[in-house]
């Protein structure tokens, strides 16, 4: 455990279009609060002009520079897996990694998105009707969110993705892991939303770089809960429309903070103060 004021630790984030990420400030502030000299570096694929094929080289680079680990975000959460030596049970079950710990010459993949989303949802939407949720997005974040929804008690989950095969594959994997729930790839979004009790959004739509709505706003009804994973901006167009209709909502801030707290724990061996991190995040986005 890193517990001396002189301890220095280097971590970072690999992904595309991450220049506005709040992760550096969040991790570095929690590091200072725990007596660490922690630096958090953004490694943007777009800025470097490289694609997913560069992931092994980037991991070798941060290893050579003495990083304790890196977070992984869109679009690399699944593509990074072949470059790793080991997966945690959660990451293996999801087929997606958002945290890589570099230790003893090994690369160990974890997923803190799933428990991070679950904790944010639990806090913001207690008592939500989870009998039938529609989810948009079946990528790396979508896999984590879908698993979290089933762990929270969703009885029926209908998954839509622009890549129908990806939605079908995720649904099949989760149905095997949760045999008491009905998990299905979506075909007719209008019909699914007419039956559903809530909507979970897990695509990049709504981010500062990808503005807009992920579905026709006429499909959102006041009885729906609406859960968002995008946190920059915190008030996405989807949340604005849903709140105007009277829906109960949860923004992406909780997932952002609680997944960061889990990653901080993996990187440092120190238990972070999640409430302090929530307060710092609120001050940053306020």
Catalytic positions, written as ranges: 77
Backbone angles phi, psi at 122, to 5 degrees: -55, -45
The CB-side HSE value for 12 (13 A sphere, CA atoms) comes to: 19
CB 146 within 8 A of CB 157: yes
Contacts of 52 (CB under 8 A, 6+ apart): 45, 75, 76, 79
Distance CA 96, CA 79 (A): 8
Distance CA 146, CA 38 (A): 32
Distance CA 106, CA 108 (A): 6
Strands 106-110 and 99-103: antiparallel
Distance CA 170, CA 160 (A): 10
- 10 Å CB burial of residue 233 (0-12, 13-18, 19+) is middle
| CA distances in angstroms from 2 to 64, 112, 201, 274, 285, listed in the order given | 20, 20, 37, 18, 29
CB 100 within 8 A of CB 72: yes
Contacts of 104 (CB under 8 A, 6+ apart): none
Distance CA 238, CA 246 (A): 12
């Amino acid at each position: 455990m890193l517990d001396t004021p002189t301890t220095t630790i280097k971590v970072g984030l690999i992904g595309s279009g991450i220049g506005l990420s709040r992760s550096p400030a969040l991790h570095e502030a929690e590091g200072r609060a725990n007596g660490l000299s922690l630096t958090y570096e953004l490694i943007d694929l777009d800025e470097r002009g490289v694609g997913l094929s560069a992931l092994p080289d980037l991991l070798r680079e941060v290893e050579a520079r003495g990083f304790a680990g890196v977070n992984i975000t869109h679009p690399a959460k699944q593509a990074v897996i072949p470059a790793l030596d080991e997966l945690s049970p959660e990451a293996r079950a999801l087929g997606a990694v958002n945290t890589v710990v570099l230790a003893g010459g090994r690369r160990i993949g974890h997923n803190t998105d799933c428990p991070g989303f679950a904790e944010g949802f639990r806090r913001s939407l207690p008592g939500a009707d989870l009998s039938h949720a529609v989810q948009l997005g079946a990528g790396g974040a979508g896999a984590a969110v879908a698993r979290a929804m089933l762990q929270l008690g969703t009885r029926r989950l209908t998954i839509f993705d622009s890549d129908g095969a990806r939605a079908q594959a995720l649904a099949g994997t989760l149905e095997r892991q949760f045999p008491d729930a009905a998990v299905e790839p979506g075909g007719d979004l209008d019909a699914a939303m007419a039956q559903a009790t809530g909507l979970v959004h897990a695509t990049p739509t709504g981010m500062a770089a990808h503005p807009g709505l992920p579905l026709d706003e006429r499909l959102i009804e006041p009885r729906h809960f609406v859960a968002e994973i995008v946190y920059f901006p915190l008030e996405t167009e989807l949340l604005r429309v849903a709140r105007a209709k009277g829906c109960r909502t949860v923004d992406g801030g909780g997932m952002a903070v609680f997944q960061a707290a889990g990653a901080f724990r993996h990187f440092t061996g120190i238990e972070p103060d999640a409430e302090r991190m929530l307060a710092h995040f609120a001050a940053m986005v306020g």
